[in-house]
Amino acid sequence: MHFMEVLCMKKTALFIIDVQNDFCENGALAVPDGNAVVPVCNRLIQMAAERGCPVLASRDWHPANHCSFKDCGGSWPMHCVAGQDGAEFHPDLQLPVDVMVFNKGTDANAEAYSAFDGTQAAGVLHDAGIERLIICGLATDYCVKASVLDALQAGFDVLVVSDGCRAVNVNPDDGEKAFAEMEAAGATILPLAKVEF
């Protein structure tokens, strides 16, 4: 209950999206410069701790036959298979002991880019009185964008930490387009230097 007790005291939470080994350097689906988000996330975790704000983290937690994998007719190489090293959080990510983790993409037959898709994240946050989310992680143009749009749809104020995200950029400007789409939907986009809890 420690997490919920802390959560009930504050209206802002930090939500870190998919900072996992397979999305970082040498991973099965490495995001270019993905490792660079780790120190930004760690600073945000420190800031959250100083303010008594809770920290949440999402992770892809796929079965080995997930529909998103190329071998199963999907678009991506096999990645973030539940229980394997590639699915673990980056070893330098300093998550607090009371972090609340949401596993997504656990249904072999369903895509799930958003941390709110098929998880209890929205209900947990609403029940705890959270009104504002600070979001960072991987990747800007996929799971971060989907999570931000769902968070806005669920009624949260959302601040996206721009230098705490990196994009896949299948097309060179996908990351910038994703930021623009999130901002148009109502999110605030700021660099770490301007973030306040």
Sequence-ordered strand ranges (E) for the chain: 12-17, 55-60, 100-104, 132-138, 157-166, 188-190
Amino acid at 26: N
Q: Please say if 70 is a catalytic residue.
A: no
Annotated catalytic residue within 18, 22, 60, 117? 18
Annotated catalytic residue within 104, 136, 141, 150? 104
Structure tokens at 85: 């090293």
pLDDT tier, 128 (very low <50, low <70, confident <90, very high otherwise)? confident
Annotated catalytic residue within 41, 80, 143, 165? 143
Indicate whether this model's pTM tops 0.85.
yes
**Alpha carbon of 10 to those of 104, 159, 188: distances in Å?**
25, 16, 20
pLDDT tens for 93-105 read 999 999 999 999 9
Confidence check: pLDDT of 65 > 80: yes
Which pLDDT score is estimated for 1? Answer: 43
Q: What are phi and psi of 169, to 5 degrees?
A: 55, 55
Which pLDDT score is estimated for 7? Answer: 47
Cis peptide before 139 (omega within 30 of 0): yes
Q: What percent of the chain has pLDDT over 70?
A: 95
pLDDT tens for 14-41 read 999 999 999 999 999 999 999 999 999 9
Provide mean pLDDT across the span 44-65: 96
* H or E element that contains 181: helix 174-185
Confidence check: pLDDT of 135 > 60: yes
Q: Please say if 145 is a catalytic residue.
A: no
Which pLDDT score is estimated for 3? Answer: 52
Provide mean pLDDT across the span 65-94: 96
Average pLDDT, the chain: 94
